[in-house]
Amino acid sequence: MRANTKIFGCIADPINHVKAPTLFTKMFHEQNINAIMIPINVSSNNLENFFFGIRSIENFVGMTVTIPHKTNVLKYCDHLEKEAKDTQSVNWIKIENKKIIGTNFDGIGFVQGLRNTNLIVENKDFAIFGIGGAGSSICHSLIRNNVKTLKLINRDSNKLIVFANKLKELKSNTEILIDDFTNYDISEYDYVINATSLGLKDNKDLIFDVKKTKIDCTIIDIVMDPEETILIKEAIKYKRNYHLGKNMLVSQIKLAGNFFNLW
């Protein structure tokens, strides 16, 4: 590290699950980029103070945003790129001329992560638990990539109905369905996604019953720590295909580099 090293952050609360600082600092070193990424534990109550302060730090150039801040940071951005506007969620921020610019690569990274592991997206049936920041982005990206059916399942039924109606307004060929959070049917879906924080670290709760999926279903968990979440362990136990959360982050490396003009 040198006096002019560029500093990137990763903001979250709690912070101990984040993988981006290790991944990106390693990437900066490998590509001889004079930068580091540090984990920053910011509570929701301190977001306003945090964003007020970072504008004046000359060598703080941007950050990735994760649980639980992806929707809460919207109001602190001076400009939102199209993906952030569409999804009303931000997971990357850069600071240019003291202006805070937000975008979102979660959905794009999610779909690219599937393709990188030779999984087919088009004309497939998806069910997703959770329509928060990451979930919203994933849904938009799946629709843009012409999935056949997208079933939304969420604890807050009012939020679920509003979000489903917004997706239907996109006038896509994807069939948008909703289901009950406790009495759901996921028996005929090619992919079932956990887009909630359940399974993170010491959380041992299961978001859905893997046994309710068909035998050739692929179980997807966007939680990255632990890598083998309780949901993934259930998928292995009941001999389902599975897809790890880290694939969504790894697929964002090139996108983030372009966003910051790093490579």
Q: To the nearest whole number, what is the mean pLDDT of the chain?
A: 95
Q: Are the CB atoms for 149 and 174 separated by under 8 Å?
A: yes
Segment among 98-107, 197-206, 210-219 with least mean pLDDT: 197-206
Q: What is the pLDDT of residues 76-105, one digit of tens each?
A: 999 999 999 999 999 999 999 999 999 999
Q: Strand 191-194's sheet: what is its strand order? A: 175-179, 149-153, 125-129, 191-194, 218-221, 241-243
The most distant pair of C-alpha atoms in the chain lies apart, rounded to whole Å, by: 57
Measured CA angle at 129 (ends 116, 66), to 5 deg: 65
Q: How confident is the model at residue 226 (pLDDT cuts 50, 70, 90)?
A: confident
For residues 61 and 57, give the distance between their C-alpha atoms in angstroms, rounded to a whole number. 8
Average pLDDT over residues 181-208: 88
pLDDT score of 201 more than 80: no
Q: What is the pTM for the complete model shown?
A: 0.91
pLDDT score of 46 more than 70: yes
Q: Give all domains of the chain, ordered by start, each with its CATH number.
A: 6-104 (3.40.50.10860), 107-248 (3.40.50.720)
